[in-house]
């Protein structure tokens, strides 16, 4: 089951990402290459299959989703430990 993404988590990640979208996206590319290269490859492969899709927009949405789920999972793990 996927963790619940709260409004607080969304606010935190969106404010982080939207300060400088291009820099945040580039940082996420590097982060995912190290943390989970299979996910990064999947994101790039999806965007390549349709010439009409903006690769950067697809990547941004996917990276935002990954980060939201990552933080929500961490929060769930902390709640279970308490």
Domain count across the chain: 1
Tell me whether residue 29 is in a domain. Answer: yes
pLDDT of residue 22: 93
pLDDT of residue 23: 95
Tell me whether residue 77 is in a domain. Answer: yes
Task: Supply the range of the domain harboring residue 72.
Answer: 7-81
Reading phi first (left if > 0) and then psi (alpha if -120 to 50, else beta), residue 5 is in beta
Tell me whether residue 2 is in a domain. Answer: no
List the pLDDT tens digit at each of the 82 positions of the chain. Answer: 889 999 999 999 999 999 999 999 999 999 999 999 999 899 888 877 777 888 888 889 999 999 999 999 999 877 666 5
Tell me whether residue 1 is in a domain. Answer: no
b/e sequence 7-46, b meaning 16+ C-beta within 10 Å: eebeeebeeebeeeeeebbeebeebbeeeeeeebeebeee
Say if residues 55 and 47 touch (Cβ distance below 8 Å). yes
Say if residues 76 and 69 touch (Cβ distance below 8 Å). no
Tell me whether residue 28 is in a domain. Answer: yes
């Amino acid at each position: 089951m996927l963790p619940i993404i709260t409004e607080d988590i969304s606010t935190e990640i969106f404010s982080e990402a939207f300060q400088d979208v291009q820099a945040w996206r580039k940082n996420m590319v590097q982060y995912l290459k190290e943390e989970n290269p299979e996910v990064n490859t999947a994101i790039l492969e999806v965007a390549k299959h349709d010439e009409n899709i903006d690769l950067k927009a697809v990547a941004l949405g996917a990276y935002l989703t990954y980060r939201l789920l990552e933080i929500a999972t961490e929060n769930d793990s902390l709640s279970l430990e308490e």
